[in-house]
């Protein structure tokens, strides 16, 4: 079975619970959730006295923006369905400061429930 790692970073955390429900409603379960922050937002907080970063902080409109990052190892045939779920909940993902989603091939998995070799 071919597996993929689907990584979703969502800047609008208000939509995150809706995303999890949409994935679950479509039979896609399991994953790891991490609170993350972007590099630009972190630098803006640290280097507030530098005009460029101060302006960046003002644009982001938060002291330390928190994103939600979801990692899911999925069978290749579930990836398209998961991506459709993300696009349904966050249709404007391509807009700036909204989030990012990408996949990576997974060569080996150890410890995943229901895993077969």
Instruction: Using the predicted structure, report yes or no on whether residue 86 has a pLDDT greater than 60.
Output: yes
57-85 per-position pLDDT tens digit: 555 555 556 899 999 999 999 999 999 99
> CB of 33 within 8 A of CB of 93?
no
Domain boundaries, the chain: 3-36+66-106
pTM for the predicted model, two decimal places: 0.78
Mean pLDDT for 104-111 is 93
Instruction: Using the predicted structure, report yes or no on whether residue 41 has a pLDDT greater than 80.
Output: no
What distance in Å separates the CA atoms of residue 80 and residue 78, rounded to the nearest whole number?
A: 6
Topology of domain 3-36+66-106 in CATH is: Alpha-Beta Plaits (3.30.70)
Instruction: Using the predicted structure, report yes or no on whether residue 55 has a pLDDT greater than 70.
Output: no
> CB of 51 within 8 A of CB of 87?
no
Mean pLDDT for 13-30 is 96
């Amino acid at each position: 079975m071919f597996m993929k790692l689907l990584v979703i970073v969502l800047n609008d955390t208000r939509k995150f619970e809706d995303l999890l429900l949409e994935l679950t409603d479509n039979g896609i379960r399991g994953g790891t959730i991490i609170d993350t922050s972007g590099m630009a937002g972190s630098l803006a907080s640290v280097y507030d006295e530098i005009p460029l970063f101060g302006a960046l902080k003002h644009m982001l409109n938060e002291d330390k923006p928190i994103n939600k990052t979801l990692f899911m190892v999925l069978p290749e045939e579930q990836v398209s369905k998961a991506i459709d779920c993300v696009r349904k909940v966050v249709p404007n993902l391509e807009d700036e400061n909204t989030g990012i989603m990408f996949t990576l091939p997974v060569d080996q998995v150890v410890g995943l429930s229901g895993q077969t070799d």
